[in-house]
A and B are shown apart, each in its own frame.
Chain A
Amino acid sequence: MASYLDKQDLKDIDEQIKWAQIDKDVLRSLENPRWSYWVAFAFCVALLAIAVTAETYQYLYGMGYANLNWPHMWDLYIATFVFWIGMSHSGTLLSAILHIVQADWRKPIYRFAEAMTTFTLMTAMLFPVVHVGRLWNVYWTLPYLSDRGIWPNFRSPLIWDAFAVFTYLTSSALFLFIGSIPDLAICRDNATGWRKKLYTVLALGWQGTDHQWRHFRKAYLIMACFLIPLAVSVHSIVSSDFSMSLNPGWHVTTFPPYFVAGALYSGCAGIMTLFILLRHFFRFEKYMTLSIFEKNAKLTFAIAMVWTYLNLIEFSSVWYGHSVADKEVLWTKFTGAYAPYFWSMIFIGSVLPFTLCFQRLRRNLPLMFVISIIFNIGMWLERWMIIAPTLQLSYHPIAWNVMWPSAVQWGIVLGSIGWFGLLFLVFVKIIPSVSMYEVKEMVYHRKHGEDATVAPEPSYSLSGGGGAAGVHPAAAKPDPEGGQQ
């Protein structure tokens, strides 16, 4: 076992794996996870219970118990909303962008990254609901005609948010579903009982015909092409919630790219965390290899450096802009009440990624698991440090106030991790978290030494006569066990 894994360390995947073995390994994950899966499940349920308790308390006794008061009207809730929206960019990056550039190492891991996109968006969308406080009026957040015949203000970035996040959730959920159809057919063909019925419905009658594959590939490519500008627009629009205002610290032109870089960063860090967990839960060492993990780690490092650069751009443009109020907010970030959090963010976001430069550290998965979680804490701090210092120090001295979130806010924020984790853990027990058909393609193309993009010369004789004269040698001798390869 050890020698097998050592050999595996050097490759993205072992191209000698039989297709039937891929199906067997992945389908087994739907039935038989390690006990640690159930520990994680229980942990998420516990976190969610904390959130439900906190939300019930806030609902019964009012928003004041969350320490939400003027000028800190949206604090942790909006920071966590932005954090979860940012995490959602992982799926788009790994699935759509790497699909278009045909980086085949994404194939064993893109499915769970796409799922992460959908579930982080579902988690993010809870926060406007929680933040509204009066849950019975939550529909006011939707762009609809009011009873006084007035439409919402379409000039407001908050309305753009509603359009963008809804579009992103719909598109990414469909992208996830469409990409899963061939695998759902495999599940259908191998399942029994209630799973058989479920997969029969979800597979939509997929038979793997050349007609279906042709339309499928086209549709998948088109959706991938649309998802990339959509993802960029979503986080740009979220950044507009702040940058379109005139508040010091927020009215910054670099906010949209800064938000997108932060989103990709936290998305990549999230992928690192879930990669390590799934590899452990489902014994996916053969598919989620160290080589693939390293590629993702290097990508994370590159994005971390982009994020660092954009931070410097933001700070220097504020500093040399000579706007007194903006400068004061920046200086308060450096030295004020929130300074420990701010410098933690800088350390985690810009210095800690250098651990990813060392192969020995990159290959230490327990260490990487801890570091990836710290990255995400750093990215969460980034969002909080965007919100709180500006709310603390706006234009009017009467509104200057440092506020610390209450246990109610912390409870709901922690509970959102439980909600996301629960959705994700249920998903990976029902839908294969490794794409079987894409891994088969990866193995096939690597084994045959082909670039997946280039049609190889047929290895049989087109002018061959009858019999086996024109047949590829591999086909000339039937394999009694049957099957590809």
Chain B
Amino acid sequence: MSKHRVLGLFKDFEGATAAITDMREGKVPGANIDDVTVMSPIAPHPAIEDALGHRTTPVGKFTLAGGTFGVTFGFLFISSAQANFLVQPQGGKPVVPLPTNFIPTYEMLILFSVLFTLVGLIIFARLGRPMRGLYSEKVSLDQIGVMVDNLDDRQYEAVKSLFQERNALEIREEVINK
């Protein structure tokens, strides 16, 4: 059975939010709010985020992992290098001096936190992969897109008429073969 994907382009956030809220309120029977994607030229309006429901981002966990790795790697790298100095006279100074090692370790903490954050962003925002679904260049210009995936024939018609009711400027569609 074929599935459909529909993209409605709206003039502003209000129209898009109203359409999503209608779907959330069950005006498209069986439609899943998780199949709704909003595309916009700026970060979505808070009202849209409310309508979409709570969606989290795990990017911060990557940052934490990066920071932990950076501290560990940084300190072990420098300390193990300094351990080679054992063959040299230290003049009574510690082989692994903590205060001075703190500084490169701190830099490694920041470096790996930033790098891991970037990796997290690339993975979760699906960057570096081919663009998927319906896309209109107008959503990078000045319109708000609402894309709904995995619609059966009945839902597909309901979404289209809902978008029309909410004054969508343009509706695009495609068939997803499964």
Contact = CB atoms under 8 A, between A and B. Distances in A.
Interface string A215-242: 1111100110010011001000100000
A151 B85 contact: yes
Interface in B51-80: 51-52, 55, 57, 59-60, 63, 78
Contacts of B142: 18-20, 23, 482-485
Contacts of A142: none
A458 interface: yes
A266 B92 CA distance: 43
B50 interface: yes
A164 interface: yes
B166 interface: yes
B167 A223 contact: no
Contacts of A477: 167
Contact of B127 (A174, A189, A204, A483): A204
A229 B110 contact: yes
Given A204-B128, A477-B167, 14 more contacts: A149-B84, A150-B84, A160-B104, A182-B140, A204-B122, A218-B59, A233-B103, A237-B103, A441-B42, A444-B42, A455-B47, A476-B167, A479-B169, A483-B141
B84 A472 contact: no
B18 A205 contact: no
A207 B84 contact: no
B148 interface: no
A299 B138 CA distance: 38
Interface stretch (A270-278, A406-414, A459-467): A459-467
Given A154-B104, A164-B107, A215-B57, A226 B114 contact: yes
23 contacts: A155-B97, A159-B104, A164-B107, A170-B114, A171-B114, A178-B118, A189-B140, A204-B122, A208-B140, A212-B127, A214-B49, A215-B125, A222-B117, A223-B117, A444-B42, A455-B50, A467-B165, A475-B10, A475-B15, A475-B166, A479-B11, A479-B169, A484-B41
A219 B62 CA distance: 10
A6 interface: no
A178 B127 CA distance: 11
A217 B43 contact: yes
Nearest 9 CB-CB pairings of A with B: A455-B46, A472-B14, A475-B15, A483-B142, A19-B142, A151-B81, A189-B137, A204-B127, A219-B121
A211 B43 CA distance: 10
A291 interface: no
B117 A207 contact: no
A474 B41 contact: no
Interface residues of B, number: 80
A186 interface: yes
Contacts of A101: none
Interface of A: 18-20, 23, 145, 149-151, 154-155, 159-160, 163-164, 166-167, 170-171, 174-175, 178, 181-182, 185-186, 189-190, 204-219, 222-223, 226, 229-230, 233, 237, 437, 440-441, 444, 455-456, 458-460, 462, 464, 466-468, 470-472, 474-479, 482-485
B127 A167 contact: no
B29 to A, nearest CB: 14
B108 interface: yes
A484 B11 contact: yes
A300 B122 CA distance: 36
B155 interface: no
